[in-house]
């Protein structure tokens, strides 16, 4: 990576997650969108790993599948579900509960898609609670949050409150945000399960 590249919360999420992953790990992309994070995760865990992706839009599934095919990623161990991430605990095989190495959320709307189909506070917080149960010890949860779009501020406040109350002896929680931005930029929260 170029040393002069501008900082980005998306790149930072990838950097933190890559640092925790090994070949063969099992991971979740909770908001597939156009498939950038699914592709990134599949490269981190390799052909012996498992990637589970969730999105509520058929368009997101199609874009993600096309992206993986274009990048010649083997699809055998990638499971793409058109389901809300709220249901991830029910959908993940019981053998994988408490075994997940990384779970990524990139909230908001599908870029280039229907801007009214956004992630919302209540279902996101339910999915975050499921994520904590699915993570293994040493696993990481990343959440990229967009307070700037309609509805985004409410979701941002709910997640901030949720993250701040997590028990300090069970989780380490960090946040990464730009302090001198002129607009309301996206920011990142990462939760490490001890």
Ligand X SMILES: C[S@@+](CC[C@H](N)C(=O)[O-])C[C@H]1O[C@@H](n2cnc3c(N)ncnc32)[C@H](O)[C@@H]1O
55: contact with ligand X by CB under 6 A: yes
Nearest CB to ligand X, comparing residues 57 and 77: 57
Looking at beta carbons only, is 36 or 135 nearer to ligand X? 36
DSSP tag of 48: T
Per CB under 6 A, the list member of 9, 17, 28, 31 interacting with ligand X is: 31
The distance of closest approach from Cβ of residue 61 to ligand X in the complex, given in angstroms and rounded to an integer, is: 9
Binding ligand X by CB under 6 A: which of 8, 57, 77, 99? Answer: 57
Q: Which residue has the tokens 């109350």?
A: 165
| Part of the chain binding ligand X (CB under 6 A), chosen from 31-39, 91-99, 163-171, 179-187 | 31-39
Decide if residue 142 touches ligand X (CB under 6 A).
no
Only one of the segments 16-24, 84-92, 169-177, 184-192 lies at the binding site for ligand X (rule: CB under 6 A); that segment is 84-92
| Complex with ligand X: residue 14 or 193, whichever CB lies closer | 14
Select the residue interacting with ligand X from 119, 131, 142, 156 (CB under 6 A): 119
To ligand X, the closest distance from the beta carbon of 143 in angstroms equals 11
Q: What six digits make up the tokens of 108?
A: 């908001």
Smallest separation (angstroms) from ligand X to the CB of 84: 4
Separation of alpha carbons 130 and 133, rounded Å: 5
Please report the beta strands in the chain, taking only residues with DSSP state E, as ranges in sequence order.
26-29, 50-54, 78-81, 100-106, 135-145, 171-176, 187-193
Map residue 111 onto helix, strand or coil. Answer: coil
Nearest CA to 64 out of 111, 97, 4 is that of 111
Residue 156 touching ligand X (CB under 6 A) = no
CA-to-CA distance for 172 and 170, rounded, in angstroms? Answer: 7
User: Under the rule (CB under 6 A), what is the footprint of ligand X?
Assistant: 31-37, 54-57, 60, 84-86, 106, 108-110, 117, 119, 123
């Amino acid at each position: 990576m170029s040393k002069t590249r501008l900082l980005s919360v998306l790149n930072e999420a990838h950097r933190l997650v890559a640092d925790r992953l090994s070949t063969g790990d099992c991971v979740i992309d909770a908001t597939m969108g156009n498939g950038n994070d699914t592709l990134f995760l599949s490269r981190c865990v390799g052909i012996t790993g498992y990637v589970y992706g969730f999105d509520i839009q058929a368009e997101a599934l199609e874009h993600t599948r096309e992206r993986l095919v274009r990048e010649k990623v083997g699809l055998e161990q990638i499971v793409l579900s058109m389901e809300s991430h709220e249901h991830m605990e029910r959908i993940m095989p019981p053998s994988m509960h408490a075994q997940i190495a990384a779970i990524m959320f990139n909230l908001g709307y599908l870029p280039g898609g229907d801007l009214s189909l956004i992630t919302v506070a209540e279902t996101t917080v339910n999915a975050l609670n499921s994520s904590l149960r699915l993570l293994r010890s040493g696993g990481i949860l990343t959440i990229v949050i967009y307070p700037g779009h309609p509805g985004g501020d409410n979701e941002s406040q709910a997640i901030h409150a949720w993250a701040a109350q997590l028990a300090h002896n069970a989780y380490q929680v960090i946040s990464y945000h730009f302090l001198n931005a002129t607009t309301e930029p996206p920011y990142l929260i990462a939760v490490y399960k001890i």
